[in-house]
Chains A and B, each alone.
Chain A
Amino acid sequence: MSYLVCVLLFGLMVGSVGVAWNPSPYFAAMGLVMVSGVGCGVLICFGGSFLPLVFFLIYLGGMMVVFAFSAALSAEPYPYGWGNRSVKMYVAAYVLGVGCAWKVLLGKWSGFWGGILDESGELLVLRGDMMGVAAMHDVAGWMLVLGGLGLLLTLFVVLELVRGVSRGGLRTV
C-alpha cells in the first residue's frame, strides 16, 4: 500500500513538472490530467471517498479548463468578443431564437424540478471528509468566497502578465 502511495506521488511529481516544463503550454494540460488522476489515487489511499472526487473535479474542471482557455486567450492576437461587429448580429439572432422557442415550447411554468434523490435524512456512513467539507462551508463559507476572489485575481494577473502579442510570454508570431 505504501509502495502504491510512493508510485502515485512519483507520478504527481512527474505530472507537475510536465505542466511547467514544455515548449508549448497546450501540452501542459496533459500534465494536469495526470496530476489529477494520481492525486485522486493518493487521497484514496489515505482513506478519502469524497475528497478525491472533489480533487479530480477541481483539477480537471477548474484548473485545466482555466489553464487551457487562458493559454488560448493570451495567444489570441484579435480576440472576438460578443460585442464585436461581426458577432453582434449572430448573438442577437440567437437570443431571439431562444426566446421564441421558450415561449412556444415551455409555455407554462410547471414547477417540476426533478428531484434527484429521495431525502431520507439518513446516511449509511458518515465520512470524515464529507462532514468536514460540510462543516467548512458552514463555518468558513465567507472565507471560501474570499478564496474564490483570490483565484479570480490570479486569473487576471496571469492574463495581464502573459498577454501582448509579440512581447508577451506566449507568442503567436
Chain B
Amino acid sequence: MNPYLLIVLLTSLGLGTALTLSSTHWLLAWLGLEVGTLAILPLMAQRHHPRATEAATKYFIVQATAAATLLFAAFNNAWLQGHSDIQHMSHPLFTSMITLALLLKLGLAPMHTWMPQVIQGVSLNTGLIVSTWQKIAPFILLLQIKQIHPPLLTIIGLASILIGGWGGLNQTQLRKILAYSSIAHLGWILLILQHSTALATYALLIYIFMTSATFITLKKCKATTINMLTTTWTKAPTITLVAPLMLLSLGGLPPLSGFAPKWFILQELTQLNFIPHASIAAMAALLSLSYYLRLSYSITLSLSPNNLPECLQWRVNYPISTPLSSALPAALALTLFLLPLTPSALTLII
C-alpha cells in the first residue's frame, strides 16, 4: 500500500481511539468510533481478494449499524435529559440501547457472528488490530455508562463465554479460533464490568497482551491452520518451547498471567454472592482451554512426520523476522510473567 496512505490510516486509527477516550460528549465519542472504523477498512481490504473484501464489507456494515444505533440512542437521551454527557445518562431504555450497540461493536454474543468471519478474512496483522486495538474504545465507553440493566450484562457475558468456548471447538482455522477466544475473553470482562471496573480494565489489558503475543507468534510461523502449526519446531524451536505457555496463559492457568484476571473475577463474583455466575464462567472456561490445548499439542507435544530437508529450516532461515517481531519478546514476557506482579499491576489501574 502507498506508504503515505498507510501512515494516514494508522495515525487515524490511533486518533479515533484517542478521540473516544478523551470525550465526554456522545457526539465526539461517536466521531472517534467512526474514524476508527473507517481507518481500518483499507487495511482489511488490502489484499483485494474476495474474502478480504467480504470481511471489510461485513465489518463496515456491522460497525456502522452499531454506530447508528449508538447515535440514535445518545441523541434521544440528550433530548429527554437536556445534556449529552456520557457519564450522566439516566434513561434506562436508551442506556440499554447504547450498551447493546457497544456490545455489537465489541463482538459479544449474541451479536458475535461477524467476528470469526471478519478475522478469518483478513491478514494476521490486521486481525491483531481488530482484536486488540478496536476493542479499547467501545470498552472505555462501556465503563463510563452508569446504571446498565444488570441482567443484560450478566446474560450477555455468560453467553459470550459459552459461545466463545463451544464455537471454537470445531475450528481448524487459527484466526477463527482466535476470534472465538476473543469473544470468550470479552465475555469474562463483561461479567465483572458492573461490579469492578478496575478488574475489567485489568482483564482487557492482559487479554490484549496475550492476544498480541499469539497473533505475532502465528505471523512468525506463517501459520493459519492447525496443520501449519505442526512444522513450527522446524522453523523456530524457541517459539515451539514458549507457545504452549502462551496458549495456556490464554486459557487462564496459573502460574501464567492469564490466571490473574480470571482468579480475581471469580473471587469478586463469589464475594458478591453470584455463585451460579462464577460456576458457569469457570466451567465454560474449560471449553476454551480444550482448544488451546489442541493447539499446544500440535505445536509442541507431538512431532509430525516430515522429510529431512524441511526439518532444518531453522538453520537456513534464522531468525524469522516480520515487522512485528520486535514486539514479540515484550508481549511474551507480559503474557507469561505478570502473575507475581499482579498487586503492583493492579495499583496502576485502581
Chain A interface residues toward B at CB < 8 A: 143, 146-147, 149-150, 153-154, 156-157, 160-161, 164, 167
Contacts of A153 in B (CB 8 A): 8, 12, 35, 38-39
Proximity bits, B27-44, A CB within 8 Å = 1, else 0: 110010011001101100
When the two chains form their complex, are residues B31 and A146 in contact, meaning their CB atoms are under 8 A apart?
yes
The complex places the Cα of A156 from the Cα of B13 at a distance, in Å, of 13
Chain B residues 1 to 38 lying within 8 A of chain A, measured CB to CB, are: 1-2, 5, 8-9, 12, 15, 19, 25, 27-28, 31, 34-35, 38
User: Given A143-B27, A143-B28, A146-B28, are A156 and B8 also a contact pair (CB < 8 Å)?
Assistant: yes
When the two chains form their complex, are residues B35 and A150 in contact, meaning their CB atoms are under 8 A apart?
yes
Which A-chain residue is minimally distant from B35 (CB atoms)?
Answer: A150
Chain B interface residues toward A at CB < 8 A: 1-2, 5, 8-9, 12, 15, 19, 25, 27-28, 31, 34-35, 38-39, 41-42, 45, 48, 56
What would be 29 A-B contacts, judged by CB atoms less than 8 Å apart?
A143-B25, A143-B27, A143-B31, A146-B19, A146-B28, A146-B31, A147-B31, A149-B35, A150-B34, A150-B35, A150-B38, A153-B8, A153-B12, A153-B35, A153-B39, A154-B38, A156-B9, A157-B9, A157-B38, A157-B39, A157-B41, A157-B42, A160-B2, A160-B5, A161-B41, A161-B45, A161-B56, A164-B48, A167-B48
Contacts of B15 in A (CB 8 A): 149
Which B-chain residue is minimally distant from A160 (CB atoms)?
Answer: B42
Contacts of B1 in A (CB 8 A): 160
Which B-chain residue is minimally distant from A167 (CB atoms)?
Answer: B48
Contacts of A164 in B (CB 8 A): 48
Q: In the complex, how many angstroms separate the beta carbon of B111 from the nearest chain A beta carbon?
A: 23
Contacts of A160 in B (CB 8 A): 1-2, 5, 42
Which A-chain residue is minimally distant from B2 (CB atoms)?
Answer: A160
When the two chains form their complex, are residues B5 and A150 in contact, meaning their CB atoms are under 8 A apart?
no
The complex places the Cα of A156 from the Cα of B7 at a distance, in Å, of 12
The complex places the Cα of A125 from the Cα of B113 at a distance, in Å, of 53
User: Given A156-B5, A157-B39, A160-B5, are A150 and B45 also a contact pair (CB < 8 Å)?
Assistant: no
The complex places the Cα of A149 from the Cα of B1 at a distance, in Å, of 21
Q: 11 additional contacts, CB 8 Å, given A150-B31, A157-B42?
A: A143-B28, A146-B31, A149-B15, A150-B35, A150-B38, A154-B38, A156-B5, A157-B41, A160-B5, A161-B45, A161-B56
The complex places the Cα of A160 from the Cα of B42 at a distance, in Å, of 6
Q: In the complex, how many angstroms separate the beta carbon of B25 from the nearest chain A beta carbon?
A: 8
Q: In the complex, how many angstroms separate the beta carbon of B24 from the nearest chain A beta carbon?
A: 11
Contacts of B56 in A (CB 8 A): 161
Which A-chain residue is minimally distant from B15 (CB atoms)?
Answer: A149
Contacts of A156 in B (CB 8 A): 5, 8-9
Contacts of B28 in A (CB 8 A): 143, 146
The complex places the Cα of A156 from the Cα of B10 at a distance, in Å, of 13
Q: In the complex, how many angstroms separate the beta carbon of B76 from the nearest chain A beta carbon?
A: 16
Q: Which of B2, B31, B56 has the most CB of A within 10 A?
A: B31
The complex places the Cα of A83 from the Cα of B45 at a distance, in Å, of 29
Q: In the complex, how many angstroms separate the beta carbon of B243 from the nearest chain A beta carbon?
A: 35
Contacts of A146 in B (CB 8 A): 19, 28, 31
The complex places the Cα of A161 from the Cα of B19 at a distance, in Å, of 24
Which A-chain residue is minimally distant from B1 (CB atoms)?
Answer: A160
Kindly list the 5 A-B residue pairs having the minimum CB-CB distance in the complex, ordered from nearest.
A160-B42, A157-B38, A150-B35, A153-B12, A167-B48
Contacts of B27 in A (CB 8 A): 143
Contacts of B48 in A (CB 8 A): 164, 167
When the two chains form their complex, are residues B42 and A161 in contact, meaning their CB atoms are under 8 A apart?
yes
The complex places the Cα of A149 from the Cα of B28 at a distance, in Å, of 13
The complex places the Cα of A2 from the Cα of B45 at a distance, in Å, of 44
The complex places the Cα of A146 from the Cα of B22 at a distance, in Å, of 13
Contacts of B25 in A (CB 8 A): 143
Q: In the complex, how many angstroms separate the beta carbon of B9 from the nearest chain A beta carbon?
A: 8
Contacts of B35 in A (CB 8 A): 149-150, 153
Contacts of A143 in B (CB 8 A): 25, 27-28, 31
The complex places the Cα of A143 from the Cα of B29 at a distance, in Å, of 11
The complex places the Cα of A160 from the Cα of B8 at a distance, in Å, of 12
Q: In the complex, how many angstroms separate the beta carbon of A148 from the nearest chain B beta carbon?
A: 11
The complex places the Cα of A156 from the Cα of B4 at a distance, in Å, of 11
Contacts of A161 in B (CB 8 A): 41-42, 45, 56
Which A-chain residue is minimally distant from B44 (CB atoms)?
Answer: A161
Q: In the complex, how many angstroms separate the beta carbon of B215 from the nearest chain A beta carbon?
A: 23
The complex places the Cα of A149 from the Cα of B42 at a distance, in Å, of 17
Q: In the complex, how many angstroms separate the beta carbon of A1 from the nearest chain B beta carbon?
A: 21
Contacts of B2 in A (CB 8 A): 160
Q: In the complex, how many angstroms separate the beta carbon of B2 from the nearest chain A beta carbon?
A: 8
The complex places the Cα of A164 from the Cα of B47 at a distance, in Å, of 12
